[in-house]
Amino acid sequence: MNTILIGGSGLIGSHIISLFPSVFPKDKLICLLRSLPEDESNPSASNQKKNPNVVSMLFDFENPQAIEKLNWNNVDSLLCTLGTTIKKAGSKQQFEKVDYAYPLAFAQAAKKHKVPYFSIVTAMGASSNSSIFYNKVKGKLEEELAKLEIDHLSIFQPSLLMGERKELRPVEEIGKWVSMLMPFGLFGLEKYRPIEGRQVAIAILRKLKQDKETNKNLKQTSPNKISPSKAKIKSQLEIIESDAIAALGNE
């Protein structure tokens, strides 16, 4: 089967690209990118050359028709690790386009084309009622995704992300020092501990594999005796907070 990844050039997405072949050796990962990586030092570029089952596609996120032109045949999962900052986006409007409009458009397409698994990274503290614009946008997205009733929707809410990025993010640099000095476990603040992007990627892939295997076993042990036209599909939404992500992503 095929998995579509949007956000493959980012911290978490680049780790998903390198890890995917070992978790799903028989599947294909289709990475939709604004521009194709050329630098040999770029993890996305080197990993795609090593793994024939990882395919990069140039994709125009600004074109509303581009999603419908994709080949959705044999796609059973969609992973979204898209994310930016207001500073990098240039404005709140552009930030909302990347972190809200694009993921929602893909989720709607996944629902339309009956893609059963959708995994997305939002943020700790995501809430449509938040006074923080970043968290408010993430919360609005989560609410709209829930309304779609995708068969298996997994929302990952990591705390401060750690790892090598192309651009410098001062807050994350501060977080590295805090994570070394702050005894989070002693104060019951484990879910606030900064987390490595690689851990999040591992957690996403392991969760997806678990869901697929569970669903497969259910079909084998309890085949649906109801006519497909009468069978009602019950959607499943799971929110995985940062401490649970860390536990799931431990190597």
Strand partners of residue 58: 33
Q: What is the pLDDT of residue 122?
A: 97
Whether the CB-CB separation of 109 and 84 falls below 8 Å is answered with: no
Is 187 among the domain residues?
A: yes
Q: What is the pLDDT of residue 137?
A: 97
SS3 128: coil
Is 225 among the domain residues?
A: no
C-alpha dist (Å) from residue 196 to 98, 162, 203: 22, 4, 11
Is 227 among the domain residues?
A: no
C-alpha dist (Å) from residue 93 to 65, 85, 158, 205: 21, 11, 23, 31
Is 96 among the domain residues?
A: yes
Is 49 among the domain residues?
A: yes
Domain of residue 239 covers: 2-220+233-248
Beta strands in the chain (DSSP E): 2-6, 28-33, 54-58, 75-80, 117-121, 152-157, 161-162, 195-196, 236-241
Q: What is the pLDDT of residue 93?
A: 95
CATH number at residue 47: 3.40.50.720
Is 6 among the domain residues?
A: yes
Q: What is the pLDDT of residue 249?
A: 93
Q: Give the predicted TM-score (pTM) of the model.
A: 0.83
Is 226 among the domain residues?
A: no
Is 177 among the domain residues?
A: yes
Instruction: Let me know the angle formed at the C-alpha of 160 by 59 and 85, rounded to the nearest 5 degrees.
Output: 40
Q: What is the residue-level pLDDT of the chain in tens, covering all 251 positions?
A: 999 999 999 999 999 999 999 999 999 999 999 887 665 445 555 555 567 889 999 999 999 899 999 999 999 999 999 998 888 889 999 999 999 999 999 999 999 999 999 999 999 999 999 999 999 999 999 999 999 999 999 999 999 888 765 555 555 555 555 555 555 555 556 667 889 999 999 999 999 999 999 888 777 665 554 444 434 445 789 999 999 999 999 97
Largest CA-CA distance found in the chain, in angstroms, rounded:
59
Tokens at 132, concatenated:
């923080």
Q: What is the pLDDT of residue 181?
A: 52
Q: What is the pLDDT of residue 224?
A: 54
What domain count does the chain have? 1
